[in-house]
Amino acid sequence: MRATILHSPGEIRVEEWADPAIERPTDAIVRVVAGCVCGSDLWPYRGANPVDEPRTMGHEAIGVVEAVGAGVERVREGDFVIVPFDHCCGRCVHCLAGQTQGCVELAMTASGQAERTRVTNADATCFVLDEAPAPERHAAVLALSDVLPTGYHAAVSAGVAPGSTAVVVGDGAVGLCGVLSAKRLGAGRIIALSRNPHRQRLATIFGATDLVAERGAEAVEAVRELTRGVGADAVLECVGTEQSMTTAFEVARPGATVGFVGVPHGSAIPWRTAFRNNIGLRGGMAPVVRYLPELVPAVLDGELDASAVFDLELPLADAAEAYRAMDERRAVKALLRP
Amino acid sequence: MRATILHSPGEIRVEEWADPAIERPTDAIVRVVAGCVCGSDLWPYRGANPVDEPRTMGHEAIGVVEAVGAGVERVREGDFVIVPFDHCCGRCVHCLAGQTQGCVELAMTASGQAERTRVTNADATCFVLDEAPAPERHAAVLALSDVLPTGYHAAVSAGVAPGSTAVVVGDGAVGLCGVLSAKRLGAGRIIALSRNPHRQRLATIFGATDLVAERGAEAVEAVRELTRGVGADAVLECVGTEQSMTTAFEVARPGATVGFVGVPHGSAIPWRTAFRNNIGLRGGMAPVVRYLPELVPAVLDGELDASAVFDLELPLADAAEAYRAMDERRAVKALLRP
């Protein structure tokens, strides 16, 4: 098959690669209809994570089931499915507690930016749609494989409640989905930290009521002013750097929670603030399978639509350009069609 | 007055010091009946925190009100009071939300190991008892000024629920009060990490159902075995070092919360574990004023008694020996009587 292969930092190409195969009876193979590039894909692309050998890329995908293992009962060939990036068994003690991201058989989609990808524990993992969505709805549905539930996880983890004031740190696709999710959870005020006019516009469309263009201590000061010195009831940390984590803690009011979903890269916690102000921290990898029964109907009904985060659509063959555009922040998120 | 003065790390003496005075009309001066040494007092004593100039010590105290400012209305001279270590105004937006430790006028007891101490915002801060407790109940009541509500805060922050499995990291006085608090909140199983026979005994008296003497990775393995590989529902982190924080995260089951109350000293978070397993972190400085209306009656009724953490009682004049005993772990917690 054709697949996006990262050879070393910055060196990414679409080339021939071995088709994924059924390895366990609970596997399924999905023909990818649409995949995309995640902000976390940029870490190895930029060399922030090591790249030891050539590897396939992409953990977000929707598509059609092409083959299933002998032990797969619910999912069938020809089904149109959403593939959550984090596969789970659905039966272990952690899955049954809703902690599907902590599944004892946790695995990840490994070739979402390719023609085919393997899904482990397909029955528990795949979300089967009654019918294939129209192509113009692919972006909205694709967002359900990771970026939208991840933004939602930030909002849920931060404890966004009706009428509350939420701050969203990060104006990437996840941060924007965090804005959309805070709105869905009823936040009365949503303060988005962004200095990029295009992303500011998207944040506003998604429900941001206030925009803060400052960074660091000045951003903290701006949020304090907007909240009359009180701070935010809930903070969504959607970046994962030390500066963003510090900002998140500093804008939180005493007793608030920072919901974090950015893969942490050397992020220390501002302990003094956390200690005195009792700022909680909660989040991490989103339990996508847990959220889909709630989010999919809302997306199919059109009441929840994150598709605007995809501001670049390219054929799979141009994956390298998709990475460049996101790396240079010319695009928020790139959709790839095999 | 006579007061415990820390001159430099290790150099601590009881000597003459200026009496505290009413500085604001909302202040009160309390004649200390009993004070004590906190684990956090050992940080500057050991040189882990800087000591720039001679300073009074001690933030835990019970005693009799000796003088009140013109603006104090509820508290009166002669009242027997518990002095929460964190003073608060009771009126600001944070106090009204129960976040008394985040009060805009937050102040701390500064001379609990002395003959007198000043209490700011006395009306909101002091808990007035109907009558002076008998001397043999002083230890149980003194525990309410910090150590017991702090252990309780760890348990509440960790989300200890009826029937749950709690792990307590730390066998100091706070950790032991954490055991007692987890029991009070209905934990079905309480696993205490301790290798010291005396502290193990106290933990068992306070409600620990299991003791783990191992440390680090071996302690994690032991807890995993005790919980059939699942991990703990709630973890109380009562130390504040990097090793203890790591252990706390590693023994938590996915979705659990680490309730932390140890003043953090260079504690990093094990991010990979926190991220994949969605381990939350919550806690910090205990809002003592918030907890006292619930805890004081239980202590006065005798149903909640942390007095066993005081295994050394000395006259104030021997404060230096109290510090030495705790530093050398010969004593869990030392009570001082002026």
Question: What domains are there in chain A, each with its CATH number?
Answer: 2-146+287-337 (3.90.180.10), 148-283 (3.40.50.720)
pLDDT score recorded for residue A50: 85
Chain B residues bordering chain A (beta-carbon distance below 8 Å): 93-94, 97-99, 101-102, 106, 157, 230, 253-255, 257, 263-264, 267-269, 271, 274-285, 287
Three-state SS annotation for B34-49:
EEECCHHHHHHHHCCC
For Cα atoms B285, B286, B288, give the angle at the middle one, nearest 5 degrees. Answer: 140
Point out the residues of chain A with pLDDT beneath 50.
none
* CA–CA distance, B149 with B142 (Å, rounded to integer): 11
| Cβ proximity of A305 and A179 under 8 Å | no
Q: Which residues contact B197 (CB under 8 A, 6 or more apart)?
A: none
Closest-approach residue (CA) in chain A for B153: A278
pTM: 0.96
| Cβ proximity of B62 and B80 under 8 Å | yes
* CA–CA distance, A43 with A61 (Å, rounded to integer): 19
Q: Do A255 and B98 touch (CB under 8 A)?
A: yes
* CA–CA distance, A227 with A232 (Å, rounded to integer): 7
Q: Do B102 and A285 touch (CB under 8 A)?
A: no
Which of the residues B89, B227, B271 would you substitute to probe the A interface, choosing the one with the greatest number of A C-beta atoms within 10 Å? B271
User: Chain A partners of B285 at a C-beta cutoff of 8 Å?
Assistant: 275-276, 278
Q: Do A253 and B281 touch (CB under 8 A)?
A: no
Q: Which residues contact A22 (CB under 8 A, 6 or more apart)?
A: A28, A29, A67, A68, A69, A118
Q: Token pair of A263, please?
A: 């893969």
| Cβ proximity of A277 and A88 under 8 Å | no
Gap from A279 CA to chain B (nearest CA, Å)? 7
* CA–CA distance, A239 with B221 (Å, rounded to integer): 33
- For residue A207, how far is the Cα from the chain centroid? 18
Q: Among A93, A106, A275, select the one facing B230 at the smallest CB separation.
A: A93
pLDDT score recorded for residue B265: 74
Gap from B276 CA to chain A (nearest CA, Å)? 5
Q: Which residues contact B69 (CB under 8 A, 6 or more apart)?
A: B22, B24, B25, B26, B27, B28, B122
Q: Among A97, A255, A282, select the one facing B99 at the smallest CB separation.
A: A255
Gap from A42 CA to chain B (nearest CA, Å)? 18
Q: Which residues contact A253 (CB under 8 A, 6 or more apart)?
A: A227, A230, A231, A232, A233, A277, B94, B97, B99, B102
Strand duo A232-237 + A252-260: pairing: parallel
Q: Among A93, A254, A285, select the one facing B99 at the smallest CB separation.
A: A254
- Going by C-alpha positions, the residue among B244, B216, B263 that lies closest to residue B108 is B263
Q: Token pair of B50, please?
A: 């800087």
pLDDT score recorded for residue A73: 98
User: Which residue's structure tokens are 């989040």?
Assistant: A283
Give A44-59 as a DSSP string.
Answer: HHHTSS---S-EE---
Point out the residues of chain B with pLDDT beneath 50.
none
| Cβ proximity of B86 and A277 under 8 Å | no
Which residue type occupies A202?
A: L
Chain A residues bordering chain B (beta-carbon distance below 8 Å): 93-94, 97-99, 101-102, 106, 157, 230, 253-255, 257, 263-264, 267-269, 271, 274-285, 287
Strand duo A11-16 + A2-8: pairing: antiparallel
| Cβ proximity of B219 and B239 under 8 Å | no
What are φ and ψ of residue B211, in 5° steps? -120, 135
Supply the DSSP symbol for A193. Answer: E
User: Which residue's structure tokens are 């925009």?
Assistant: A211
- Going by C-alpha positions, the residue among A196, A232, A231 that lies closest to residue A211 is A196
Identify the three-state secondary structure at position A234: strand
* CA–CA distance, B20 with A238 (Å, rounded to integer): 48
Q: Do B264 and A271 touch (CB under 8 A)?
A: yes
Give A64-131 as a DSSP string.
Answer: EEEEE-TT--S--TT-EEEE-SEE--S-SHHHHTT-GGG-TT-EE---SSBSEEEESSHHHH-EEESS
Q: Which long-range contacts (CB under 8 A, 24 or more apart) does B207-210 make?
A: B207/B179, B207/B180, B207/B182, B207/B183, B208/B168, B208/B179
| Cβ proximity of B179 and B190 under 8 Å | yes
For Cα atoms B161, B90, B134, give the angle at the middle one, nearest 5 degrees. Answer: 70
pLDDT score recorded for residue A268: 80
User: Which residue's structure tokens are 């690669």?
Assistant: A17
Closest-approach residue (CA) in chain B for A153: B278
| Cβ proximity of B166 and B187 under 8 Å | yes
pLDDT digits (tens, 9 = 90+) for A213-240: 999 999 999 999 999 999 999 999 999 8
